[in-house]
Amino acid sequence: MSFNFIEFLKSLVSLTVSDYLRELWGDQLWVNLVLDILGVVIISTFCLLIVIFLIWLERKVIARIQRRIGPNRVGGRYGLLQTVADVIKLLIKEDITPTGADRVAYLLAPFLTVMAALLVWAVMPFAPGVIGVDLNIGVFYFLAISSVSVVSLLLAGWGSNNKYALLGAFRSVAQLVSYEVPMILALLVPILLARSMSTVSIVEAQTIPYLLVAPLAALIFFISSLAETGRTPFDLLEAESEIVAGFHVEYGGMKFGMFFLAEFVSTLFMSGFFATVFLGGYRFFGLETLVIGDGWAIGNLLGLVIFFVKMFAVYFVYIWIRGTLPRVRVDQILNYNWKFLVPVSLVLVMVTALLDKFLPETANNFARAGAHLTANVLIALVTIEILRAYARRQRRLLSGESGPGEAAVDEHAHHDTAVHEPAAAH
């Protein structure tokens, strides 16, 4: 087969260029190796470069939310080149390692963070047939890799030999390890529904997006992904007003830049993953399978566009939340996770599994989705009712049985001190 420029362009546009080149050069070991390496380079370069845009987007959107203008000096009226200037600044800064730092841990941490943030993209289905590797354990692979990122935060916090950094690391471990649990449980629901852990199979199984089938699982996943990426309201790991900058307080220049970059890359990944698992990924009413002319699969490109629109829609919600919500306290994040998210997601997984088992095999997709949706709404209503009863009891405890009274409040206050400081009780 000889090289045909038009065919090459066509395969480029329909995102099947690797198939075209494989046909051209033959299906040999070195061809596959070169194509794989090219794929890795393209995906990681995309992730690294899109961060420049993401940072600008985040600053601009948050500025608009807070009635400011945001970057508007470098690069035209919209400040489009502001982040480029920032990146250049970070790159040419002096590379400092503190004297008291544990060099191995200090230098390893930024690399591990970026590695973990980039490795997960291997299982992200961008468009039909456009995925790093369609692992049969795709979702589990993502969970495994992201659990490694906890290690890098711990390394950074410990290696810096700084008390704020260590405090940030302790917080990050408590938070990330805890919120992994509801995240895994919430992801079990789409896995159950799609009967597969492969991200492609999950997308293919979503005739109806799982956001409509399992909205509760989507909500739990979204909340825990906020915590996993350390974004507001769960940004305790780097709460500026409490512990300066948390685990990366001793990092400067591009080493700090790498932490920053990893945070944005993993947030974008979480948006893409949410779009994949709950919004149907690249699917949009069969538009992604569109073929025009004599078998030119233009649908692949449309699938890519659809995926990006969905991913950035979710990403916008992340920014929106960052611009809106205040930070929660340390005790609140752990209580919220262990006493609320984990029990709810456990119940949700059990109900989904049983319901899926007992629904008749003959039920069509819409009947199944309806049943699951009803179950989700019921669980949500019961949860809200339990929470309301709990809040009512707490209020009664605080105010006394017969309404607000000084004595009752006082008594409670004494009780509180006794719990926290037994030595100081009188």
In the complex, which residues of this chain contact another protein (CB under 8 A)? Answer: 100, 102, 104-105, 108, 135-137, 140-141, 143-145, 147-148, 150-151, 154-155, 158, 161, 166, 173, 177, 180, 197, 418-419, 422
Q: Taking the C-alpha atoms of 181, 186, 191 and 193 in order, what is their torsion angle to the nearest 10 degrees?
A: 150
* CB-CB contact of 225 with 276 (8 Å): no
What pairs with residue 371 in β-bridges? none
> Minimum Å distance from CB 202 to another protein?
14
> Minimum Å distance from CB 119 to another protein?
10
> Minimum Å distance from CB 228 to another protein?
12
- Token pair 């095999």 in the structure block, residue: 361
The nearer residue to another protein, 11 or 152, going by C-beta atoms, is 152
Q: Amino acid identity of 379?
A: I
Q: Cα separation of 13 and 60, whole Å?
A: 31
- Written as one string, the DSSP assignment of 329-372 is PHHHHHHIIIIIIHHHHHHHHHHHHHHHHHS-TT--HHHHHHHH
Q: Cα separation of 166 and 246, whole Å?
A: 8
> Minimum Å distance from CB 309 to another protein?
30
The nearer residue to another protein, 154 or 193, going by C-beta atoms, is 154
The nearer residue to another protein, 290 or 330, going by C-beta atoms, is 330
The nearer residue to another protein, 1 or 423, going by C-beta atoms, is 423
> Minimum Å distance from CB 416 to another protein?
12
- Token pair 């690249």 in the structure block, residue: 282
The nearer residue to another protein, 137 or 334, going by C-beta atoms, is 137
> Minimum Å distance from CB 414 to another protein?
12
The nearer residue to another protein, 55 or 197, going by C-beta atoms, is 197
> Minimum Å distance from CB 157 to another protein?
9
Q: 229: helix, coil or strand?
A: coil
The nearer residue to another protein, 51 or 166, going by C-beta atoms, is 166
The nearer residue to another protein, 57 or 189, going by C-beta atoms, is 189
- Written as one string, the DSSP assignment of 181-215 is HHHHHHHHHHHHHHT---HHHHHHH-SS-HHHH-H
> Minimum Å distance from CB 33 to another protein?
11
End-to-end CA distance of the chain: 91
Residues 6+ apart with CB under 8 A from 373: 212, 213, 214, 215
> Minimum Å distance from CB 140 to another protein?
5
Peptide bond into 125 cis (omega under 30): no
The total number of residues written for the chain in this structure: 426
The nearer residue to another protein, 23 or 102, going by C-beta atoms, is 102
C-alpha pair distances (Å), 58 with each of 312, 328, 384: 12, 21, 33
The nearer residue to another protein, 7 or 102, going by C-beta atoms, is 102
> Minimum Å distance from CB 154 to another protein?
6
- Token pair 């995240």 in the structure block, residue: 183
357: its two tokens: 């088992």
Q: 296: helix, coil or strand?
A: strand
Q: Cα separation of 238 and 172, whole Å?
A: 9
DSSP type of residue 285: T
Residues 6+ apart with CB under 8 A from 358: none
